[in-house]
Amino acid sequence: MSQEENIVTGLAALRALSHTGSVTGAAVELRLTTSAVSKRLTALEATVGRSLKEPAGRGVRLTPEGERLLAEADPLLAQLRAVVADRSDAPARVLKLAITESALVSWAPAALRAALDSDPALKIELHAHRGPVVIDRVGSGRYDLGICTVTAPPEGLVVRELGDEPMVIVPRGLLPLTGDVVPVWTLEAKSATWQVIEGRVERRSRAWGFTVRVDGRLESAAALVQVARAGFAHALVPRGTALALGVPPEALVALPGLARPVGVIGRHHTLAGASVARLVGVLRSRFGG
């Protein structure tokens, strides 16, 4: 095996090790023997001249040098895989697609089903994560595409916009709002959605006739809806999530001018592929539906 092949196979073993936390787990993920994985990791360490893994309890973790190597190499390998796939006559590969929970509990499953029905060659592997994790793992090359709230993608990634999803308030116990100040629970401060809408909430309050005050946060839009329905608190959430969980439209409090942009994020080569372009087109046509 050439040095180049040692590097590529070694990086694949290193990535699997970082996912699973053990050589055995990496072997299962790669469908290799533990001996083969160990040899690939040893060859990679010999090539770079550094230790890339270390014991961690009963498992194994990457050393700081291993983490840095994988972070730098993964985007390059992802781009290489996309370039090869775009020029290959082989059957279409499985697209690893990460999606935020709020999209998966509302419009995304039906839209993805329609995309699969329209393109028999398209194969998808789904993963659910919060927005920042989706973006991070697409950037690292772990996933091919992500569907999430995003406005300014990190370097190396591009976005295909799907549309703007309105934000609404689900009133506590589905009862009418009262008062000039409405305390709400909403998504965590580090979420992509909140980072987009935070300034707009402050600017738009006067037009709504009341001020929105954040009193609590949760990591899940679906959980926020259920908290509101049970009477714990008002919830500021994406409209699609509330409707998908059975909240009557007439119970929702509209917030004109407040929406979050949703898009498909990935590398240019991946998004430029014909099957992915068709997928984005179907998602866009069915966004929010």
What is the rounded average pLDDT of the residues 167-174?
97
Q: Which helix or strand (DSSP H or E) is residue 161 part of?
A: strand 158-170
- By residue count, the chain amounts to 289
Does the structure show a pLDDT above 80 at 225? yes
Residue 210's pLDDT is what?
A: 92
pLDDT at res. 90: 44
Q: How far apart are CA 29 and CA 74, in angstroms?
A: 17
Residue 91 pLDDT > 60, yes or no? no
Q: What is the mean pLDDT of the chain?
A: 88
d(CA 225, CA 216): 13
Band (pLDDT 50/70/90 cuts) for residue 9 is confident
What the chain holds in terms of domains, given with CATH numbers, is 3-72 (1.10.10.10), 86-162+263-286 (3.40.190.10), 165-262 (3.40.190.10)
What are 93-140's pLDDT values in tens digits? 689 999 999 999 999 999 999 999 998 888 999 999 988 889 988 887
**What is the distance between the alpha carbons of residues 63 and 41, in angstroms, rounded to a whole number?**
13
pLDDT exceeds 90 at position 279: yes
Average pLDDT over residues 45-74: 87
- The Cα–Cα gap between 257 and 158 comes to 25
Q: What is the mean pLDDT of residues 205-217?
A: 90
Give the residue ranges of DSSP H helices in the chain: 3-20, 23-30, 34-48, 64-86, 101-104, 108-118, 131-139, 192-208, 221-229, 239-244, 268-272, 274-286
Question: H or E element: which one contains 125?
Answer: strand 123-128
Mean pLDDT of 59-84: 78
In this predicted structure, the answer to whether residue 145 has a pLDDT above a threshold of 90 is yes
So what's the pLDDT on residue 289? Answer: 66
Q: How confident is the model at residue 89 (pLDDT cuts 50, 70, 90)?
A: very low
Q: At what angle do helices 3-20 and 34-48 cross, to 10 degrees?
A: 120
Higher pLDDT, 228 or 288: 228
pLDDT given for residue 256 in this prediction: 94
